[in-house]
Structure 1
Amino acid sequence: MNGAEAVRALKRLGFEFQRQTGSHVIMRRESRTVVVPQHKPIKPGTLKGLIEQAGLTPDEFVAQL
């Protein structure tokens, strides 16, 4: 999975683009802020942290891919 795919999945879950700083996209939904690296590919540990930042379960995230 790359950063663009992660951003698309988060948009489907209601997150909105806030800004991009360098190679990182900042997305927000209510009080949750998620930083998505625009690397290819995103490492498994980084992806797990991204899902936790979003307050999601891995199954919820994967369902949006």
Structure 2
Amino acid sequence: MTYREIARKLRALGCEEIPRRSSGSHRKWYNPQTGRIAPIPDWGSKDLKVGTVRHIVQQLGLDWETFKQA
């Protein structure tokens, strides 16, 4: 799953991307429902590992099944 696919699903679930203040390959996302923040690697078209995506979903306080269906 690429960063763009993850970002689309997170937006559908109500999460917001925090504006970048510096350069780098990670972007921070905020879940206003839980108040949690998680960094997500933005590697362009390169896929992120499933374990990494699952950990991001867990950090944001989202349910994995809900995320997959979004």
TM-score (norm 2): 0.79
Root-mean-square deviation (CA, aligned residues, Å) is 1.3
Q: Distance in 1 between matches of 2:25 and 2:11?
A: 18
Q: Distance in 2 between matches of 1:14 and 1:56?
A: 10
Q: Distance in 1 between matches of 2:69 and 2:56?
A: 15
Count of matched residue pairs: 64
Q: Once the two structures are aligned, what percentage of the paired residues are identical? A: 31
Q: Give the structure 2 partner of residue 2 of structure 1.
A: 2
Please state which structure has a larger fraction of its residues in helix.
1
Structure-to-structure mapping, 1:43-54, within 5 angstroms: 43-54=49-60
Q: Distance in 2 between matches of 1:26 and 1:56?
A: 15
Q: Distance in 1 between matches of 2:49 and 2:6?
A: 12
Unaligned runs of at least 5 residues, structure 2: none
Q: Distance in 1 between matches of 2:66 and 2:39?
A: 18
Q: Structure 1 residue 58 and structure 2 residue 60: aligned?
A: no
Runs of 4+ in 1 over 6 A off after TM superposition: none
Larger Rg over CA atoms: 2
